[in-house]
Chains A and B, each alone.
Chain A
Amino acid sequence: MAKKIVFKREKDLPYLAVSLSNTRSNKTGGWSSLRPVLDKKKCTGCMLCWKYCPEPCIKPGEKPKIDLDYCKGCGICSEVCPTKAITMKKEKK
């Protein structure tokens, strides 16, 4: 996991706007209002959800594994799933 970089003063900054780490330290999953829920019984393992995920935050395998740390709740996986195995549920605040 990438370490979150914290600056205290102007001198700490690089001279230009440049990433010093990678964006994995920025857990965008916190932005979503909807969360994908997988019904493993309906899932055939076609991996279309993995192919279409724009983040991408779905790991392919026998059954897809969705990484909620980065999922922004766009719902594309649910849209493309041919067996409607993925449903979008409202996030509890």
Chain B
Amino acid sequence: MKKLITGNHTVSFGVKLSRAEVIAAYPITPQTEIVEKLSEIVADGSLPAKFIRVESEHSAMAACIGASATGARAFTATSSQGLALMHEMLHWASGARLPIVMTNVNRAMAPPWNVWSDQTDSLAQRDTGWLQFYCEDNQEIVDTIIQAYKISEKVMLPAMVILDAFILSHTSEPVDIPVQKKVDKFLPHYNPKYKLDIANPHAFGGLVKPDWYYEFRYKISRAMEDAKDLINKVGRDFGREFGRSYGLIEEYRCNKADIILFTSGTISSTSREVIDELRSQGKKVGMVKVRVFRPFPSEQIRAVAKKAKIIGVIDRNISFGNEGIFFSEIKSALYNEKKAPPVYGFVAGLGGRDVRREDIKKIITRLDKKTGLTKGVNWVGLKK
């Protein structure tokens, strides 16, 4: 059924269709509408979940951890400072191998206070062992939440479904809401091997000395590796069932492309328009949307990078003291490759500054003419 809805509203559909059983709720702009909508459908009975109002985001994640440990499908949503506040719990969720799915609305970190689109919040959590999916549009949100539960519950690692503040969270787009019956067939009931159960008691998360901790961490790393193929497989299966396929990355017009742009989130949407416009003028440009950041799709990136003569990466984030984070990791993946083209990083759109078609065209021109390029951060639209 097609609906014209905001990203936040779409999240609530994803959660409802996935039959989440426990929702921990704490508000933060621009996510608040998510928990508000969820409270409505829990109150009217259309979603038979336990809705727990907690006193902070740290508690929200703690509540999800507890719920997931009993074998319940858990969900929460946050953004920016809230995500930062639950940092230690994020480590716990992955270490405890709990398949919690959380929506993070990409919002800038304060100070200065800024509620608009910026990826630094989620990327600052890249080491916590959470899968990370970046959505380009509202359709991807509902589709990805459903797939995230399926993938998470197989690899037993939590997942973040990420969307841009206001550009997606508060913007209405046409979204095809999947049918519950089909989702039920696609996403089976969650039943973990070990759970908190007084009939079959276990102690969880106990002390593990240096003699075995290393092996437990190896298991998490292996699970992340296994997730790569699984994400592609689940994405293909989703395509067969619902008509829309997904993968770790999405190549767009990369064949016979001299310049390839790597993007993520809604910047991908704008980039696509620019690629089409430039292609119609005969320019050999293409783009790659990095949909999944964790696990990092190194193999897929290596394969597509070989096609280009020069690569540009647009980051809506920055790791202070170094450079854009997607840029760093893409370069890393290509480092030892024999045929890797030069890669340049561009930081744009921090704090919700609009990344317009002109900005992307300017980036492509810089890559084309090889002018105004530095090895580190290439700032876009800086008011110098």
Contact = CB atoms under 8 A, between A and B. Distances in A.
Interface of A: 7, 10, 13-20, 22-23
Nearest to A20: B202
Interface residues of B, number: 19
B335 interface: no
Contact of A17 (B206, B218, B223): B206
B215 A10 contact: yes
A15 B224 CA distance: 13
Given A13-B219, A17-B205, A18-B194, 20 more contacts: A7-B212, A10-B215, A10-B219, A13-B216, A14-B193, A14-B194, A15-B156, A15-B219, A16-B95, A16-B96, A16-B97, A16-B156, A16-B204, A16-B205, A17-B95, A17-B206, A17-B216, A18-B203, A18-B204, A18-B206
Contacts of A22: 201
B382 interface: no
Interface in B156-215: 156, 193-194, 201-206, 208, 212, 215
A17 B156 contact: no
Contacts of A14: 193-194
| Majority DSSP secondary structure for residues of A touching B | loop
5 contacts: A14-B193, A15-B193, A15-B219, A18-B203, A19-B204
A16 B215 contact: no
Contacts, number: 42
A18 B156 CA distance: 14
A85 to B, nearest CB: 34
A13 B194 contact: no
A18 B97 CA distance: 11
A16 B203 CA distance: 11
A14 B202 CA distance: 12
B97 A15 contact: yes
A10 B220 CA distance: 12
